[in-house]
Amino acid sequence: MLVLTRKNGESIKIGDDIEITIISSKNDQVKIGIKAPKNVEVFRHELYEQILQENQQASKDISGLLNFLKK
């Protein structure tokens, strides 16, 4: 993991297309702005994990349904 220190208003570039800017920091909270192409999905980590779990469950449900229909 790369750890960087940035001040309010400063940015980080990821490749040519993604820019992360520190909007503000106060107490234990940091607000960031993310500029990325529209084809790049950006999620909070906990939301991304939830999406993965729901997709895995849906896949199991579909597999079970397909097995039921084959009988």
pLDDT by residue for the chain (71 residues), tens digit each? 999 999 999 999 999 999 999 999 999 999 999 999 999 999 999 999 999 998 888 877 776 666 766 76
Asked if 28 and 16 sit in the same domain, the reply is: yes
Tell me, yes or no, whether 45 and 17 share the same domain.
Answer: no
Residue 57: what pLDDT?
Answer: 85
pLDDT of residue 1: 94
On whether both 32 and 48 belong to a single domain, the answer is: no
Are residue 9 and residue 21 in the same domain, yes or no? yes
Which domain, by its residues, includes 68? 41-71
Pairwise CA distance, residues 71 & 66, whole Å: 9
Radius of gyration, CA atoms only, the chain: 19
The reported pTM is 0.70
46 plus 25 within the same structural domain: no
What is the predicted pLDDT for the residue at 36? 97
Question: Structurally, how many domains does the chain consist of?
Answer: 2
Residues 34 and 1 in one domain: yes
Same domain flag for 31 and 45: no
